[in-house]
């Protein structure tokens, strides 16, 4: 009985084992599928993270202020371990690392700010930090070239002009100053609170409206003033605005000559040309030069200075001058120190009163001398004033015939017509004297038998002329060394 029971118990155990095997086969496939799903979920999540556009810890920097240009290299943040970050740059920051401090660099200023956690993941530098400060410069100061500088902002090429807006962190103090044509005022301080920088408030106590005063006689002569930074050409009565306390150099120009340099401390008094700074220099000449209508050339001041003229010049300079007479300028120049004494031309032997000497026989037939460049002919006994050392060209005219060109060096001797310069031809025509006439072409004089006709001549230039007898046809004749004409 006990053995049977044992056998039964063994069968039962075997049956139970078979049932367990059947059960394990029944659930094996679902179990494997379940394991696949569990293992696939991290892979899918990883794939989604890689394919996504936004890292949940990525932040964007936004630097900007309406009405102000902040998109420059002068605007960036740093100081929080991410290097320099400009507008639009991104960085990674987890929520656990908030809040944190960063440094803003803006238009030469440096300020530290705190960034709290923000659901938009944007570090904003805008109206919450920056002010758009308007710089207000008075119109008349700006019209005269005035502008302003703020330390760290602007330069010679890009100054701050009237009504320009500048972005700066609220709460900082900036140093600024006025500038007019490189003349710079003292420095002022402005607390940045988003109110305008009104330059006129500082200018009332720091800027001068300086008037240029030129004596009337000097102004009538065309004198103008140059002030450092403003350039030349400032006329009498001109006003310039300059910062109080600066020192500027200046000079004046009249008749093409510039004075020595003077200095003016800006204290709101006028800039005035004093009588001791200029001279009304008179030009004087001897009578013979004056009578010859001679004139003086003053280098840079022109060449139309006649006897008695007043030439206004700066005191204390040297001028170079020379005499021009009858179209010829002396070949030496002179120096004159401007000390309000006259400029006297002709004191030194620099010119000659040259006389024209023509034989009487030629004078009777209307002979004259032509000097190249001096216009009409000069007659016997005429005196011509010319600079010593000059060389002139001249020729003889008689009976409407022009001779060859000669040269003469001006050495105070007369210009003399000699026998080598002309020939006398005897009229030899038929009949008694007075029966027939001979006429040189272009000359109204009628010659008759045995008259002597004078014509220009030169061994190297025999010349030639046309003549006719009794109004007939014209005949051409060269001038022989001597002889008749018929």
The mean per-residue pLDDT over the stretch 105-124 comes to: 91
Count of the separate structural domains present in the chain = 4
- pLDDT for residue 134: 92
Tokens 């709290």 correspond to 116
Q: Which carries the bigger pLDDT value, residue 347 or residue 367?
A: 367
Integer Cα distance of 331 and 387 in angstroms: 7
Could you give the CA distance from residue 187 to residue 176 in angstroms, rounded to a whole number?
A: 6
Q: Which of 273, 292, 314 is the last residue of a domain?
A: 273
What is the tens place of the pLDDT at every residue in 275-300?
999 999 999 999 888 988 999 999 99
Per-residue model confidence as pLDDT tens digits over 144-166? 778 888 887 866 667 888 888 99
Q: Residue 31: what pLDDT?
A: 44
Please state the separation of Cα 154 from the chain's center in Å: 23
Report residue 10's pLDDT band, with 50, 70 and 90 as the boundaries: very low
State whether 418 and 461 are in the same domain: yes
Q: Which residue is listed with tokens 């010829």?
A: 328
Predicted pLDDT at 156: 64
pLDDT at site 7: 37
In-domain check, residue 360: yes
Residue 6 lies in a domain: no
How much of the chain, in percent, has pLDDT values that exceed 70?
A: 86
Looking at the structure, tell me whether residues 156 and 118 fall in a common domain: no
The 10s digit of each residue's pLDDT in 294-342 is 999 999 999 899 999 999 999 999 999 999 988 888 877 888 999 999 9
pLDDT band at 231 (very low <50, low <70, confident <90, very high): confident
Is residue 197 situated within a structural domain?
A: yes
Tell me: do 262 and 381 sit in the same domain: no
Mean per-residue pLDDT of the chain:
83
| pLDDT tens digits, one per residue of 445-463 | 999 999 999 988 876 677 7
Question: Same domain for 140 and 263?
Answer: yes
Residue 314 lies inside a defined structural domain of this protein: yes
| Domain span including residue 369 | 349-486
Residue 228 in this model has a pLDDT that exceeds 80:
yes
In the predicted model, is pLDDT for residue 9 greater than 60? no
Instruction: Let me know whether 121 and 149 are in one domain.
Output: no
Alpha-carbon span 318 to 335, nearest angstrom: 6
Using one digit for the tens of pLDDT, what is the confidence trace for 389-437? 888 899 999 998 888 999 998 888 899 999 889 888 899 888 888 889 9
Structural domain contains residue 47: no
329 near 387, Cβ under 8 Å? Answer: yes
Q: Do 481 and 353 share a domain, yes or no?
A: yes
Residue at a domain's end among 344, 359, 377: 344
Per the domain annotation, does 11 fall within a domain? no
Prior bond of 482 cis (ω within 30°): no
Tell me: pLDDT of 96 over 50.
yes
Same domain, residue pair 362 and 461: yes
Q: What is the pLDDT of residue 42?
A: 44
Mind listing the pLDDT tens digit for each residue in 369-388? 999 988 778 999 998 888 88
Q: What is the mean pLDDT of residues 1-16?
A: 41
379 and 452 co-located in one domain: yes
Paired tokens of 378:
């000069």
Average pLDDT over residues 112-135: 92
Length of the chain: 486
Q: Domain for residue 43, yes or no?
A: no
Q: Are residues 288 and 259 in the same domain?
A: no
pLDDT (mean) for 216-233:
92
Q: Where are the beta strands (DSSP E) in 326-450?
A: 328-329, 334-337, 343-344, 351-357, 368-371, 383-387, 391-398, 401-402, 406-409, 415-416, 422-427, 438-440, 446-447
Where among 273, 298, 323 does a domain terminate?
Answer: 273
Does 268 lie in the same domain as 143?
yes
- Do 139 and 268 share a domain, yes or no? yes
269 domain-assigned: yes
Compute the average pLDDT of residues 137-147.
79
Confidence of residue 209 (pLDDT cuts 50, 70, 90): confident
Q: Report percent pLDDT > 90 for the chain.
A: 46
Task: Using the predicted structure, report yes or no on whether residue 2 has a pLDDT greater than 80.
Answer: no
**What are the strands, taking DSSP E only, across 90-204?**
90-92, 100-106, 109-115, 122-125, 130-136, 146-150, 164-169, 173-180, 183-184, 188-191, 197-198
CATH number at residue 96: 2.60.40
CA 327 to chain centre: 36
> How far is the C-alpha of 53 from the C-alpha of 61, rounded, in Å?
17
Contact status, residue 281 vs residue 343, Cβ threshold 8 Å: yes
Shared domain check, 258 and 188: yes
């Amino acid at each position: 009985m006990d053995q049977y029971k044992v056998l039964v118990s063994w069968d039962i155990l075997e049956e139970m084992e078979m049932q367990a095997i059947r059960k394990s086969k029944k659930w094996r496939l679902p179990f494997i599928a379940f394991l696949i799903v569990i293992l696939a979920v991290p892979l899918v999540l990883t794939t989604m993270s890689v394919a996504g556009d936004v890292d949940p810890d990525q932040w964007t920097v936004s630097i900007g202020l309406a009405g102000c240009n902040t998109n420059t290299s002068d605007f960036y943040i740093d100081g929080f371990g991410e290097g320099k970050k400009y507008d639009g740059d991104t960085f990674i920051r987890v929520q656990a690392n908030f809040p944190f401090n960063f440094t803003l660099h803006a238009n030469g200023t440096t300020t530290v700010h705190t960034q709290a956690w923000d659901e938009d993941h944007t570090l904003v530098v805008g109206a919450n930090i920056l002010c758009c400060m308007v710089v207000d410069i008075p119109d008349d100061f700006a019209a005269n070239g005035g502008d302003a500088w703020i330390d760290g902002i602007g330069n010679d090429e890009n100054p701050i002009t009237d009504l320009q807006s500048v972005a700066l962190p609220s709460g900082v103090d900036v140093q600024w100053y006025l500038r007019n044509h490189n003349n710079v005022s003292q420095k002022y301080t402005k607390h940045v609170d988003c109110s305008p920088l009104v330059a006129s408030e500082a200018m009332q106590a720091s800027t001068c409206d300086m008037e240029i005063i030129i004596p009337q006689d000097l102004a009538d002569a065309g004198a103008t003033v140059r002030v450092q930074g403003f350039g030349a050409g400032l006329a009498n009565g001109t006003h310039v605005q300059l910062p109080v306390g600066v020192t500027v150099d200046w000079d004046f120009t009249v008749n093409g000559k510039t004075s020595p340099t003077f200095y003016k401390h800006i204290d709101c008094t006028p800039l005035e040309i004093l009588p001791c700074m200029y001279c009304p220099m008179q030009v004087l000449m001897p009578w013979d030069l004056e009578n010859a209508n001679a004139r003086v050339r003053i280098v840079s001041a022109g060449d139309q200075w006649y006897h008695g003229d007043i030439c206004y010049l700066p005191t204390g300079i040297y001028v170079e001058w020379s005499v021009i007479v009858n179209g010829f300028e002396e070949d030496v120049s002179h120096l004159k120190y401007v000390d309000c004494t006259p400029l006297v031309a002709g004191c030194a032997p620099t010119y000659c009163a040259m006389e024209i000497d023509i034989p009487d026989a030629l004078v009777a037939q209307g002979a004259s001398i032509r000097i190249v460049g001096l216009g009409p002919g000069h007659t016997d006994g005429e005196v011509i004033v010319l600079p010593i050392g000059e060389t002139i060209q001249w020729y003889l005219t008689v009976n409407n015939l022009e001779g060859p060109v000669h040269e003469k060096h001006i050495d105070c001797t007369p210009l003399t017509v000699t026998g080598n310069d002309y020939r006398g031809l005897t009229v030899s025509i038929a009949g008694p004297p007075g029966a027939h006439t001979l006429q040189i072409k272009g000359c109204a004089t009628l010659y008759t038998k045995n008259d002597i006709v004078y014509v220009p001549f030169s061994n190297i230039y025999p010349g030639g002329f046309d003549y006719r007898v009794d109004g007939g046809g014209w005949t051409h004749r060269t001038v022989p060394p001597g002889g008749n004409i018929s």
